Amino acid sequence: MAGLFSLCLIYLGILLSVQAKPPHIVFIVADDLGWNDIGFNNPDMKTPHLDKMAGEGVILNQSYVQPLCSPSRHSFMTGYYPFHAGLQHRVIMPEQPVCSPLDMQFLPKYLKDLGYATHMVGKWHLGFCKWECTPTHRGFDSFFGYYNAQEDYYTHDWKGGYDLRQNERLATEFNGTYSLYSYDQAAADIIINHNTSEPLFLYMAFQNVHDPIEVPKKYEDMYPNIQNEGRRKFSGMVSALDEAVGNLTDKLAQKGMKDDTLFVFTADNGGWPLYYGNNYPLRGAKFTIYEGGTRAAGFVRGPGLNVTGRRFDGLMHAVDWLPTLVSVGGGESPPVGYKGDGVNMWPALSQLSSSPRTELVYNIDDLFPYEEGHAAIRVGDYKLIDGYPGLYPEWYKPQSVEKDYNITKLDIEQFEQEQVSRYQLYNLKDDPTEHNDLSSNNPDIVNKLAARLKTYHDTMVPANYPLPNPFSNPKLHGGAWTPGWC
């Protein structure tokens, strides 16, 4: 009897595993959102939808990204560190003839090969000097968004060029509409039109909350107690983003897809205090390889997570999403042909077991002068910073009143004059806010980590940071940033 029963269970198991379809995946990136800019890390922020989703899933407590936009997005899309692709120096500027290397296969292409419909909405910032560099040539079935780092939220103009496209077509009819509304609508259209017998991959790379600081007034009015105008508007931008994510999940629920959807939410780098973003109590900001620039707010929610409502404290890096999501999508682990830097985090994430990642590189950039940090590595609990850490080296509290403090910047010359030793060493377990530099009393640990950093440095591809190309000029392309000049 018992034997028959277990036989039935085995059959049931086979049946279930045959029927188990890969989940839909919605990968949400918030631009320049700081560690302290979301409700689950800071109760002053009004993000009810994101907080609820995070509570139903797993909050990522040590999920690292690069200190700037293009490098992080490159990591999400390719699973390679930027220093293995020549993208470790600053970000891709609109006039530069460069893009994320064409021989590195993008995440949407891997998922497309597994049967996914693949769509992207929002910010690209991985180069556009030729069409081959752009989203619909790198694995996305559709694209609605912009190519560059930033632009006006309403006129979609940056540096004298219009930058908003529907696939390859210039989408001028959205001139005047706050981008978040158009992106929310585009996501809704994708979901409504989706054939649910296929898995969906939707990459939502929101413009919020990058500068310029612009938001419809009703969202700013949600924070009457913040006297500082910039921080009040910025907080409104965060709450508007939260509403858009709420709308997106409602659409998925209406279509009966929500419970079959794995949501990933992550910032692309730390907040930028100059534009009111905040990472307190972490040290530093966007541009630095301190934790404030690189430890991203984020969570996952969806099917297959065996333990929820907790924080996952394992180490992760942006490069891990590619092998992780390919595995979730039913692909091999590691993906066939993938020689990148990521590891599949799914077994650890879904069981909240210990992370297979024990070390990570924050960045390695030898191209002088730099604005972001020069080089840093973490091995276990220890972090070694080699040289200049990046522009914003302090601990910044959220601005509350006008002019309550000035943002300190650390330029290279100043750093070189003040520098006592080349290295800084922190124990992040005991000191996650990087107050106690242990380097002078622990030369052995410094040497060990420096040697490890050197082995990575030996594999570095030199930074590809070309001079501006005059043929990029929007005046030569009907007033828009347009491919076709490299």
- Is 69 a known active-site residue? yes
- From candidates 284, 335, 342, 432, binder to ligand NAG by CB under 6 A: 432
Which is closer to ligand NAG, CB of 14 or CB of 102?
14
| 125 a catalytic residue | yes
**Positions 196 through 215 that interact with ligand NAG (CB under 6 A):** 197-198
Which 352-391 positions form the footprint of ligand NAG (CB under 6 A)?
none
Toward ligand NAG, which CB reaches closer, 207 or 269?
A: 207
Which residue number, 306 or 440, has a Cβ lying nearer to ligand NAG? 306
**Binder to ligand NAG among 211, 243, 365, 434 (CB under 6 A)?**
243
Closer Cβ to ligand NAG, 310 or 422, answer by number: 310
Q: Based on the shown chain and the rule CB under 6 A, indicate whether residue 240 belongs to the binding site for ligand NAG.
A: yes
Please give the residues from 56 up to 115 whose contact with ligand NAG meets the rule CB under 6 A: 61
Q: Under the criterion CB under 6 A, does residue 166 sit at the interface with ligand NAG?
A: no
Binding mask 113-152 for ligand NAG (x = CB under 6 A): ----------------------------------------
- How near is the Cβ of 151 to ligand NAG at its closest, in Å? 11
Q: How far is the CB of 230 from ligand NAG (least distance, A)?
A: 15
Residues 173-192 that bind ligand NAG (CB under 6 A): 175-176, 180-181, 184
Q: Which is nearer to ligand NAG, 61 or 142 (CB)?
A: 61
Residue with Cβ nearer ligand NAG (244 or 349): 244
Catalytic residue (one of 24, 49, 69, 194):
69
**Burial 92-114, CB ≥16 within 10 A → b, else e:** bebbbbbbbbeebbbbbbbbbeb
Q: With binding defined as CB under 6 A, does residue 442 bind ligand NAG?
A: no
Site stretch for ligand NAG (CB under 6 A), options 33-41, 230-238, 239-247, 450-458: 239-247
Residues at the interface with ligand NAG (CB under 6 A): 61, 155, 162, 172, 175-176, 180-181, 184, 195, 197-198, 240, 243-244, 247, 306, 311, 313, 403, 405-406, 432, 479
Instruction: List the catalytic residues.
Output: 69, 125
